Chains A and B, each alone.
Chain A
Amino acid sequence: MIGRRAAIAALCAAVAALSSVASSAPSPAPDILVSRQLLESQQLQVGDVVSLSSDTSGANPRSFRIAGQYEPTPDPMRLGAVRLEVRLHLPDVVSLTAQSDPLDAESVDAINVVLANDDEARATVRRLMTAVPGTVAERAGNDERRAAPFVVLERFHLAIAIVTVIASSVFLLALMLMLVEERRATVGMLRLIGFRRTRILQHVLAEGVVIAITGALFGVVLSVVLEGGINRFFQWRYDTALVFVHITPGVALRSVTVAVPLGVAAIFASSWSLLRGEGISLTRR
C-alpha cells in the first residue's frame, strides 16, 4: 500500500465534515471503500456519493462514490479505537491532500516492495539506503517491535497464572487436609486389619491421580466452553474481529501437566500424617 502523509488519518479526522449526497444521482465521482464502522456510524450505503475533505474545516471537499465496505484488519494495537476509515486510490489521495508545496504531488509515505527472493531482503535494504541517501528502508516482515507489547502481556498473564496456581494449591491442600481428616478412622481400621502402609499409599495416590485428572479435564472443558463467550463479549465490547482467548491443544496440555502433579502432591502431602501414625491412634476420636 502506498499512501500520502497521514492521508487516512486526516480523512478520518475530516469525517465529521462528511456529508451524504443523493445516492441516485449519476456521478463521475471516483470510487472509495468505506470501513464497516464508518458506514454504520454515518448510516451510509454502498452507492452513496459522499464529500471528503482533508481539511478539518471541511474546506475544498471532493465527491466520491462508495463502491463497497470493508472490515479493517484487526489490529491489537488499536484496540478500543473506532475504525472510521476510507480507502482511496493513490491519485485521489494525492489530489485531495496536496497543498501549495509542488513536492506534495510527488510524495508518498512509503513504497512497499515485494522481492523475488526473500533471502535478499537484508542486502536490498542496505543497497537502497546507500543508493538513495535519506531513504529509510526496513524489512516489512520484522515484527519484533510490533510484537513487543504482546510479549510483555504474555509475561504478565504468566505471572498472574503463577499466583493463581499458588492460591489454588493452598486451597487444594486445605481441602484435602479436611477430606483426609474425615478418613482418619477408616485408614486406622485398614491399618488394624493388616493393610500395609505402601498399600494404603498406593490407594491414596491412585485416588489422587483420578481426582486430579478429572479436575484438570473439567477445567479444560470449562475453558473451552467459556472461550466462545469471552471472545464474543470482547469482540462486541471493542467492535473488532480479534480473537482474545484461544485454547490450543498446547495450552490444554500445559494446564493438565501443571494441574495433575499439583493435585497428586496435595493429596499425598495431606495424607502423610495418616500414613505415619499408628493404626490404633488413628481410630481414636
Chain B
Amino acid sequence: MRALIFAVRSLVRQPGRTALGIIGIAAVGALLFDMLLLSRGLVVSFRDLLDSVGFDVRVTATDSPLPGGIRLTDATGAAAQIARLPGVAEAVPMRTATGEVWQTGRPVIGLTLTGMDPGARRPWTLITGADLGPSLAPPELVVNQSLMDEVGGAIGSEVTLRTGCDSSRAALAPRTFRIVGIAQFPFDDEAQHTAVMTRTALREACGDDKDEADMLMVASSGGAGAAVAAIRAARPDLVPVTNEQIVARMQTQGFTYFRQISAVLSTITLLFGFLLITVLLTVSVNQRLAEIAALRALGFSRGRAAADVLLQGAMLVGAGGILALPLGFALSLWLDQILKAMPGIPASMHFFVFEPRALVLHAALLVTTALLASAYPMWLVARLPIATTLRNEVVG
C-alpha cells in the first residue's frame, strides 16, 4: 500500500509528463481496442445476420453458399423431401433474379429480386402493408423502403417490372406487379433496391418451365449439425451447409483482409505502446537517479525501488487503458461509418463488434506491454550503485 502511495506521489509530482503519458497510452490503447473489435467484427456480425433470418442450414447444388451459381433442379420436390426429414422444421426453396422497374418518362430502377414462398419463417420483416399472397393477377410484390421511395407510389399501386433471370437469354417483356407491402431485408445495403415475390410469380415472370432454385433455406428443429447429416444421407447430390460453416468459410476467404490489417496494426500499436512506456519510465528513472540512490541509502530495498517503477508503469497503463475504452468505442463508431460506405455491405452489418473476449484480450495485452516496458527501467533501478550515484550526482 505504501509502495502504491509512493508511486502515485511520484507521478503526481510530474503532472504534465504523467498526463501526456496517460493520453498517449489512451490513444494507443484506443487503436488497439478498435483493432481487436475489427479482428472478429465482421465474422460476429455476419453470423448474427445469418442467424437472424431464422434458417440455420442452406442447401445448394454446389459448394458455393451464395445464390447466383448453378441452380438445383426439382426444387419443390427436394424441399418437400427435406422438410420430411427428422430434425428439419421447415425447408423453403429460394430463387434470385435481377429486375428493372420501368416508369414512363423516368429512369429505369434496377433491383434485386427474390422468389420465395412465405412460410412460418421468412427472411424479411414486414414494416407496413400486407405480406405476399398467392394472387397472380397481378402478382404481388413486397419491396424495401428504398425501392418504394424511388418508385414514389403507395402500397397497392402497380409497377411495370422486367425480370432478368438468365443472362444467356434475351430480355423478357415487362409485366405488371402490385406492391402490397414494405419490408426490411437483412442483407440489403444502404442503397439497395430489393423486392420479393412468390416463387411461382418469379417463375412466370421468367417464363421458366423449370422448377429451379438457387438454394433451399432450411430451419432445423434439433440442431443444424443433425439436420445437415440427415440431408446428406437423404440427398447426397445436394450440398447442405450450416451458418457456422458459411461463417468459417467467409472467415478464411472473404474477411481475411480485415483480420490481416487488424493483426498488423495491433502489433504496431503494441510496439508503439511498449516504446512509449519504456521511454517515459527510463527517462523518468534517469532523472531521478539521485533521489532513488538517496532512498536506497535510507534503507529502501532493491525490490521496493523496482516495485515503485513497476507500479508507476502499471498506473500509467491502467489509467490510459481505462481511458482508451470510451475513446476506442467512439473511434470505432467513426471507423465503422467509414467502412460501411463500402458497396454491398448490408446495412445491419458492422465491422467493429464488441465481444467480452476483446476486452479481456485488450487488458491482457496492455498488462503484458506494461510488464515488458517496465523491465529495463526496473533493472536500471535494481542495479543502481548507491555510493557512486550519490557522488556523481553531487559532483555533477
Contact = CB atoms under 8 A, between A and B. Distances in A.
Nearest to A134: B171
B335 A177 contact: no
B169 interface: yes
B62 A56 contact: yes
B171 A166 contact: no
Task: Name B's interface SS.
Answer: helix
A10 interface: yes
Contacts of A149: 342-343
Contacts of B24: 167, 170-171, 174
A170 B27 contact: yes
Interface stretch (B13-21, B301-309, B376-384): B13-21
A13 B168 contact: no
Interface string A92-126: 00000000000110011100000000000000000
Interface in A132-169: 133-135, 145, 148-149, 152-153, 155-156, 159-160, 163-164, 166-168
A175 interface: yes
A81 B260 contact: no
Interface in B256-292: 256-257, 260, 265, 272, 275-276, 279-280, 283-284, 287
B30 A163 contact: yes
Contacts, number: 106
Contacts of A182: 287
How many chain B residues sit at the interface, stated as a range, is: 35 or more
Contacts of B166: 5
Contacts of A135: 171
Nearest to B68: A6
> Could you say which of A5, A6, A135, A174 has the most chain B C-beta atoms within 10 Å of its C-beta?
A174
Contacts of B334: 159
B69 interface: yes
B343 A10 contact: no
A182 B260 CA distance: 42
Contacts of B252: 80
Contacts of B167: 5, 109
B168 A159 contact: no
B196 to A, nearest CB: 23
B256 A80 contact: yes
Contacts of A134: 170-172
A283 to B, nearest CB: 13
Contacts of A22: none
Nearest to B343: A148
A168 B20 CA distance: 11
Contacts of A166: 27
Contacts of B28: 167
A95 B359 CA distance: 58
B338 A155 contact: yes
B235 to A, nearest CB: 13
Nearest to B167: A5
A178 B287 contact: yes
A103 B171 CA distance: 13
B341 interface: yes
Given A79-B256, A160-B265, A167-B272, A177 B17 contact: yes
B27 A178 contact: no
A243 interface: no
B64 interface: yes
B326 to A, nearest CB: 15
Interface string B238-258: 000000000000001110110
Nearest to A6: B69
Interface of B: 16-17, 20-21, 23-24, 27-28, 30-31, 61-64, 69-70, 166-172, 237, 252-254, 256-257, 260, 265, 272, 275-276, 279-280, 283-284, 287, 331, 334-335, 338-339, 341-343
Interface of A: 4-6, 9-10, 13, 56-57, 79-81, 103-104, 107-109, 133-135, 145, 148-149, 152-153, 155-156, 159-160, 163-164, 166-168, 170-171, 173-175, 177-179, 181-182, 234, 237-238
Nearest first, the 8 closest Cβ-Cβ pairs linking A and B are A134-B171, A167-B27, A174-B20, A107-B168, A5-B168, A170-B24, A178-B283, A152-B342
14 contacts: A13-B70, A57-B237, A79-B256, A103-B170, A109-B167, A133-B171, A134-B170, A159-B335, A163-B331, A170-B20, A171-B272, A171-B279, A177-B17, A181-B17
